[in-house]
Amino acid sequence: MAAQEELVRMEGIKKVYPDGTIALRGIDLRVRKGEVLGLLGENGAGKTTLMKILTGVLPLTEGRILVEGRPVKFRSPAQSLRLGIGMVHQHFTLIPNFTVLDNIILGIEDPRGSRNGLVMPLDYKYHEERLRELMERTGVEVPLHVEVQNLPLGLRQRAEILKVLYRGVRLLILDEPTTFLTPLEVEELFKTLKRLKSQGNSVIFITHKIKEALTITDRIIVLRRGQVVGEIPTSEATPEKLGEMMVGRRMELEKTLRAQKPPSTKEPALRVEDLVVKNELGGIAVDHVSFEVYPGEIYGIAGVEGNGQDELVEVITGLRSPESGRVYIGGRPLERASPIEAYRRGVSHIPGDRDRYGLVLEFTVKENSVVGRQWEPSFNRGGRLDWRRITSYAWELVRRFNIVTPGVDTPAKSLSGGNRQKLVVGRELSKEPSVIVAVHPTRGLDIASTMYIRETLARYRDEGKAVLLVSADLDEILQLSDRIGVMYEGRIIAERPGEKATREEIGVLMGGVSGEAATGAS
């Protein structure tokens, strides 16, 4: 059968970086023609490194690669592309103010070559005709003459895929492709992959999301700490089995973390009243939004990024002034835009981008543990930082929040993504807030770190804290939220009790369908 023919084989792949870090420890991997292979593992397991070696981005230290049985050595992505291997990276590489067509043909030599020593201008009509034939054949439809910056994330990803397919790849590698997509966009992506597979193409689907691996793949290889720890046909895999292979122990992945009892008070800890906020371009980002969050409750705001969530959070945490409307903390209005004022009023903020807004990567763990609090008497005596107290406090955070680090004098940039996030979460929750604003708190984290962060938020909720959870991860919203508000184009278009919300309904609402239509669809 064609599906059993081998397209790529990697044997004994090792990768050791110049500083001595061992990323890969002798990996064997084979890809068959016409299959979707899942590459599953926690952050730092070696998934992306292995694929960068396969696509010529990184050199291997030891081992060999065979394409259709012939040994090859890739020294650049161009070489792997010529043999039909292409990769779509997690972070898009398109030029925003170029059209889709411009992005796709960028770097391609014109078939007419040169004339009289002069390079001929690109034949746009020729490329457009070929691209339309390719779109019809593969089902990867994208408007070619629209600038990339004006496309939703799902179409930008299709443009990335089309760009690779136009170069004639037979093996398409997707690195965490659903990170920024709505549930509906994920469904469309999976339809595309199934169609490509049916035409004899192969796909490597890199992910740490077990549900997605079970949905789209034919076979799954699990990596842990640079080694293959298991290979299993998807038909024989279960979430529990894969989770145990990934982290080395059994985990309860499906348990509900919603509150077991309703909030005990009728007075909200956070109230947003008729809020209107403009973005940097002067447009309305938040359009008359109102909601409340009570002590002992997690209120989840679901939505695709770019629908006003960032501006909403910035007003609540004192980073931005609203055009109109009010934010009330503990029944009292937040009078001015000031992060220090919001903190003093009991608001802690776990930002959506830990590296840009949560940490100073060049600072040590102990320095980051008191960022934003360095002026407090607990850490500052007579205008001088009390390093003995700060060091003791940092070690307390490390123990309390299970931060894996060689020491508190280690730079934050040396920590893994999960441990950086634990440092941010630990610092913010140790402020003893009454309101916790958590934005994409587990984005990009592996299973173990994800479950730890979610269970920590649920524990603080159970201790009486009010938690505002802003996330584009539908699983996270459904697992944690006691009430769910769906935000679309700056408005809360629907609100649902957590126990009654369904994946289908919330997913449709995130795409902008009205509440009545979504209810009917579910």
In angstroms, how far is CA 227 from the centroid of its own chain? 24
129: three-class secondary structure by DSSP: helix
> How does the average pLDDT of the chain come out, rounded?
88
Q: What pLDDT, on the 0 to 100 scale, is given for residue 375?
A: 86
State pLDDT tens for residues 244-268. Answer: 888 777 766 567 888 888 887 789 9
Long-range contacts of 274-277 (CB under 8 A, 24+ apart): 274/324, 274/325, 274/326, 275/312, 275/315, 275/322, 275/324, 275/325, 275/326, 275/327, 276/322, 276/323, 276/324, 276/325, 277/308, 277/311, 277/312, 277/314, 277/315, 277/320, 277/322, 277/323
Q: Residue count of the chain, please give it.
A: 522
Is 177's pLDDT higher than 70? yes
Q: What is the DSSP letter of 46?
A: S
CATH architecture of 2-247: 3-Layer(aba) Sandwich (3.40)
Sheet holding 171-175, edge to edge: 85-88, 171-175, 202-207, 36-41, 219-224, 227-233
pLDDT tens per residue, range 349-376:
999 888 888 999 999 999 999 998 888 8
The answer, yes or no, to whether residue 519 has pLDDT greater than 70, is: no
Q: Where are the domains of the chain?
A: 2-247, 268-346+464-522, 348-432
Confidence of residue 113 (pLDDT cuts 50, 70, 90): low
Residue 111, exposed/middle/buried by CB under 10 A (0-12, 13-18, 19+)? exposed
Q: Which tokens go with 104?
A: 């796709």
pLDDT of 228 reads 95
Topology of the domain covering 268-346+464-522: Rossmann fold (3.40.50)
Q: Whole-model pTM?
A: 0.71
Beta-carbon neighbour count of residue 297 at 10 Å?
26
Q: What is the mean pLDDT of residues 463-478?
A: 92
The residue that leads in pLDDT, 142 or 418, is 142
Helix (H) or strand (E) segment spanning residue 496: strand 491-497
Q: Give the count of alpha carbons within 13 A of 356, CB side only.
A: 3
Same topology between domain 2-247 and domain 268-346+464-522? yes
How confident is the model over 126-169, as pLDDT tens digits? 899 999 999 998 888 899 999 998 887 778 888 999 999 999 99
pLDDT tens-digit profile of 14-59? 999 887 888 899 999 999 999 999 999 877 788 989 999 999 999 9
Reported confidence tier of residue 197, pLDDT bands at 50, 70, 90? very high
| pLDDT tens-digit series, residues 301-342 | 998 878 999 999 999 999 999 999 999 999 999 988 888 899
Beta-carbon count within 10 A of 317 CB:
23
Nearest-angstrom CA–CA distance, 334 and 432: 19
